[in-house]
Amino acid sequence: MATARRIGGENSATRERILEATEQLIREQGYASASTRRVAAHAGLKPSLVHYYFPTTDDLLVAVSKRGAKESDRMIEEALKSDRPLRALWEFFSDTSRTRLVLEFMAMANHRDAVRKHMAEHSEEMRQRQAEILEKLIGTKFSLPDGCPPAGLSVLLAGIGRVLIMEGGLGVTGGHEEAREFVERWLDMLEPADVEKAES
């Protein structure tokens, strides 16, 4: 009965309020602070209501992970539809505004099998999606260097961006400016700024 109510209320305002409160706690105090009691207090709700929607802590954390993944998917899809998809994708991967949350999700995945499983499955699906879209764009918006298939390009951009974000979160900046400049010069060669001229 409770399960049916939870499924029926997946898009409810209360459920969203709980997820928002959980994400805020994770950003501000770390994922370990996201207990049912703290989430409830942060959302101005009773703990029993949090349990109504999320019976276990893993249920709650996976839901927050899925919420973040959905937003990331939306941003990546927008990037890949832009006039300069490679540069837009790079800007997404190297965006430092999400540093704190990214670090917390990585730590969460390291300690929570359910979260790790979801993040791994989602990453594989999105990597495949990116590769498919980049494959369609080759020859129209840009060309790839020899030996670098679309899936590999996605890994390179995501990997370098993730290192910059994770190290930056620790206060490590050595070589970051040089790496950014290198990637941006490389992208300018692959995807010239004058897109219309490049396509004509």
pLDDT-flagged residues of the chain (< 70): 1-11, 145, 193-200
Domains, the chain: 1-55 (1.10.10.60), 62-199 (1.10.357)
Amino acid 10: pLDDT: 56
What DSSP state is assigned to residue 97?
G
Amino acid 170: pLDDT: 86
Residue 14: Cβ within 10 Å count: 14
Amino acid 6: pLDDT: 47
Burial of 177 (0-12, 13-18, 19+ CB in 10 A): exposed
What DSSP state is assigned to residue 46?
-
